[in-house]
Amino acid sequence: MIFPRALLLCVLLSSASWLLADDFWQQPFDTWKREQVVRMLNDSPWAQIETFTAPIVSKDAGLAGEKELYYRFTARFFSARPVREAYVRMARLMNNYDQMAPDQRQEFDKRFQRALNLDVADRVIVAVEYATNDPNTSRDLRPAFELATAETLKQRVYLISQRLGRVELLEYFPPSADGTGAKFVFPRTVHGQPIFGPQDKEIRFDFTTPVTNHRIFLAFKSF
């Protein structure tokens, strides 16, 4: 299995019919260009970036040429098939998939088939990646994400449903070797009600980061 267990966000993350007709992600993902894949992973209905900055106060920080410190967190609904498709397409582009012989393509596709077709009907997952030019913070963030558990994170991360309020974390998976980030798993339904549906305008991801204690508060809207 290429990716950890990923989960579906109800209507927002599965209904392509909501998307605008001219959006590239309505086309088969094997036609996406590199810049489109990057857009899907960083600035799309299922992915957003939050960046925090701070002045550099010490010339001895090992940051020659840098004007300020930055702390960048990317949140993606990994349970959305378009996001998983973007990861697969990027892997293809990086391995010259389009120039492979048919038998090589078939073997390559086998490695990713399970990730693309995961049964994600009962839960929702948000993947978070981080990047920073602050070497001290970078050193501390890695063990903070690797050693965290669902129990230690429950008071720091939520989905916020317009109708149901805070949706608590179910499971947590530390950052994986495939580069898809840490995974925060939430239930798809609460008390028998979907956390997001056609009647809702948005769902929010609320996460207070470890080490830096930045609050990520992102709204993902329907179309």
Q: Which pTM value belongs to this model?
A: 0.84
Q: How confident is the model over 126-174, as pLDDT tens digits? A: 999 999 999 999 999 999 999 999 999 999 999 999 999 999 999 999 9
Q: What angle do CA 26, 9, 114 make, to 5 degrees?
A: 70
What does the alpha-carbon distance between residue 101 and residue 80 come to, in Å, rounded to a whole number?
30
Mean pLDDT in the chain? 86
- Asked whether 126 and 205 are in contact (CB, 8 A), the reply is yes
Share of the chain above pLDDT 70, in %: 86
Query: Which residues are CB-contacts of 179 (< 8 A; sequence separation ≥ 6)?
Result: 129
Model confidence at 21, pLDDT cuts 50, 70, 90, reads: very low
Q: Residue 101 has what pLDDT? A: 95
Distance, in Å, from the CA atom of 4 to the CA atom of 176, rounded to the nearest integer, reads: 8
Question: Which pLDDT belongs to residue 24?
Answer: 85
| Average pLDDT over every residue of 30-44 | 94
Tell me how far apart the alpha carbons of residues 162 and 199 are, in angstroms, rounded to a whole number.
9
Mean pLDDT of 192-196: 92
Q: How far apart are CA 142 and CA 160, in angstroms?
A: 26
Please write the tens of the pLDDT for every residue from 50-106.
Answer: 999 998 876 655 566 678 999 999 999 999 999 999 999 999 999 999 899 999 999
3-state secondary structure 180-215: CCEEEEEECEECCEECCCCCCCEEEEEEECCCCCCE
Q: What percent of the chain has pLDDT over 90?
A: 69
Q: Which amino acid is at 66?
A: E
pLDDT at residue 20 greater than cutoff 50: no
pLDDT at 209 over 50: yes
Going by pLDDT thresholds of 50, 70 and 90, the confidence category of residue 26 is confident
Average pLDDT over residues 104-121: 88
How many whole angstroms separate alpha carbon 128 and alpha carbon 145? 10
DSSP state letters, the chain: --S------HHHHH-GGGS-TT-GGGS-GGG--HHHHHHHHHSBTTEEEEEEEEE---TTSS-TT-SEEEEEEEEEETTSHHHHHHHHHHHHHHTTGGGS-HHHHHHHHHHHHHHHT---SSEEEEEEEEEES-HHHHHHHHHHHHH--HHHHTTTEEEEETTTEEEE--EEEPPPTTS--EEEEEESEETTEESS-TT-SEEEEEEE-TTT--EEEEEEE--
pLDDT of 184 higher than 70: yes
Residue 155: CB atoms within 10 Å: 10
